[in-house]
Amino acid sequence: MQHTNKYILWVCFTFLCQITLAQESNTLDTIQRQIRYFAIDNPMWLHESVENRYTLLHAQYGGMQGEYRLAQDAGKSRSTHVNSEGSITLKDVRLWGRFSYNRTLEDSTRFGHQTRQNPSAPFYFASYGNNHYVRTNYTIQARGQRYFDKWSVFGGLDYRIGDHFSNNDPRGSIDVIQVDGQLGVSRKLSEDLEIGLEAQYGYGQESFEVAFKNENYVLSPAVTRYLNYAVIGYGWQTNDWLLARGIHYQNDMKRYGSQAYLSYNTKIGKFYATAHYKQEKQVYQQVLRNESRNNVLNEYAIDDIGGDLMWQLRRNNRAYLVQLSSTMRSGQDKVVFQANGINNFVYEHDTHSAKIAHTYYAQKWQFHFEGFAGMTSETRQDGGSGTLLDYSRLDGSLSAMATYITSKNQQVHLSITGLAGKPLTVNWSVPEINENMFHRYVYFHDVGYHQANTQGARFELGFRQPLKRKDFVRVLASLQTVSASNISDLGRQTATLPGLKRNHFALSLAYGF
């Protein structure tokens, strides 16, 4: 099965490279690039906002290190990312596609035998010892749109397979497949007004296996870092899961949703608006291979509602953009294998953000300024243990970028960004009698993480060299550092606490043709 999937991905990658041989027309226009990727996410505007032809091959190597992190994040990681993307127009059909490969090596990850794409999972396995994880993901994305006079048909498909494994006890693996599709229609009500409606469907599966190479860790009565714990809810039960040599379980997912679109062109700029609703249902099942049956463990439903409002204007040698975004997610589980299927875990995660950007074009210079402010609030409540974490925080950034264009059309750019974050509220509670390994290694650590004030900076230095025709090569280096303060003593028994530093770096190479 894995060989078949990789073969399909290779065929699609080759096909993508063949159909997108073209030039990238917007290499400097930062605002226009943001509008391009907004249209890729919302394909009613694909024909309008994605270039007729462009191709970009991109490779990046990066990493992060430092102890100011969530408890289940890696203390240190290194990642390699390669992708090819481009657009082409065939017989009035605007097409866009991307193939990407990402491989991440994680060190010092604990309580983390799960994917990074499902952070609120109400059932998973973990150990409090530091594990080394290798996470690999292949992704194919495609978008298309065609107009028929005042009507258009548009849609997209995302396909991802992943392989995650840890190579020290308790060693485990996760195989992932996710497929998401969207199909919509739009109509121009006038020259300046267009509306659209889209239906969405997706499905996927995460297949988990946990086992030991050294079986003495399973049979030993001593409490050690090699024990494999089942985490149910948000700390309700965190126990050594059966004294068995291995366990298999899977998470089957289905997603249904819809999205409405509206765009309106005025004398003072163009407005774009979207509103969406999506529901995802997850079923966690233990796979009893010897008995050829599955044992349902947990059911989990997540509702997602949100929208975007964006305005953009270009006048003479200036461009402006304002974007408001909001997403509200809420989830509830149902513990099927215990307690008569009661609801134990409640999850809410809301994000609201605003971004404003301005680009100024001069003969030999381009200047880009951007400001961002976002508020995040999250509630995780576990009924069985009485565990509550309820926080909200405000994060913001201000950035300035200058690009100099030489007489040979080379481009040199420097970008500086200031980062800051502040908690607005942090409420937590858990009865001391109900504390367990999860609380000592994860819960109290994360409470401290969300209490912190943060400040930091990011620096980018890039160079673009034109080649024959309109081909080009671009190199970019970036460095980010974040410092934390105001992490208070909780007065409880904790095994770990967040540190005060986190650093990120990235080196990338791009080739456009």
Write down the pLDDT at residue 238. Answer: 66
Say yes or no to pLDDT of 164 above 50.
Answer: yes
* For the ranges 4-8, 112-116, 321-325, the one whose mean pLDDT is highest: 321-325
Under 8 Å between Cβ of 56 and 470? no
Q: How confident is the model at residue 29 (pLDDT cuts 50, 70, 90)?
A: low
Query: Does 241 have pLDDT greater than 80?
Result: no
For 113-126, write each residue's pLDDT tens digit: 889 899 999 998 88
Res 245 pLDDT > 70: no
- Return the SS3 of 258: strand
Q: What residues contact 457, with CB distance under 8 A and at least 6 apart?
A: 416, 417, 418, 419, 480, 481
The confidence band for 255, taking pLDDT boundaries of 50, 70 and 90, is very high
CB 459 within 8 A of CB 399: no
This prediction's pTM:
0.91
pLDDT value, residue 26: 35
Is it the case that residue 18 has pLDDT exceeding 90? no
Residue 119 preceded by cis peptide, ω within 30: no
pLDDT (average), residues 158-166: 96
Provide the domain count of the chain.
1
The pLDDT of 229-236, averaged and rounded, is: 88
Question: Who contacts 302 (Cβ-Cβ below 8 Å, separation ≥6)?
Answer: 120, 279, 280, 282, 329, 330, 331, 347
Mean pLDDT of the 416-431 span = 98
Q: Is the dihedral of CA 109, 110, 113, 119 positive or negative?
A: negative
491 sits in the region (left: phi over 0; alpha: psi -120 to 50; else beta) called: left
Statement: residue 24 has pLDDT above 50: no
pLDDT band at residue 336 using 50, 70 and 90 as cut-offs: confident
pLDDT attached to residue 218: 66
Distance CA 203, CA 464 (A): 41
CB within 8 A of 119, min separation 6: which ones?
Answer: none
Distance CA 309, CA 312 (A): 10
How high is the pLDDT of residue 260?
99
Classify residue 350 as exposed, middle or buried by CB count within 10 Å of its CB (0-12, 13-18, 19+): middle
**Of 338 and 6, which is predicted with more confidence?**
338
pLDDT value of position 23: 34
Amino acid at 57: L
pLDDT at 240: 58
**Residue 46 pLDDT greater than 80, yes or no:** yes
Lowest mean pLDDT, pick from 101-110, 143-152, 168-177: 168-177
pLDDT averaged over every residue in the chain: 90
| Residue range of the domain that includes 49 | 2-512
Task: Note the residue count of the chain.
Answer: 513
Residues 6+ apart with CB under 8 A from 1: none
Q: Mean pLDDT, to the nearest integer, of 479-488?
A: 96
* Proportion of the chain above pLDDT 70, given as a percent: 90
* AA identity, residue 225: R
Mean pLDDT of 66-81: 96
Whether residue 428 has pLDDT greater than 80: yes
Cβ contacts of 291-294, under 8 Å, gap ≥ 24: 294/250
Which segment of 12-16, 401-405, 471-475 scores lowest on mean pLDDT? 12-16
Q: Can you give 160-222 as a three-state secondary structure string?
A: EEEEEEECCCCEEEEEEEEEEEEEEEEEECCCCEEEEEEEEEEEEEEEEEEECCCCHHHHCCC
DSSP state of 350: E
**Residue 127 and residue 146: Cα distance in Å, rounded?**
51
The pLDDT value given to residue 99: 98
The pair of three-digit structure tokens given for residue 299, joined into one six-digit string:
């059911």
- Using pLDDT thresholds of 50, 70 and 90, give the confidence band for residue 8: very low
Percent of the chain with pLDDT over 90: 75
pLDDT attached to residue 42 = 98
Q: Residue 250: what pLDDT?
A: 94
Q: Which two tokens stand for residue 201?
A: 């469907």
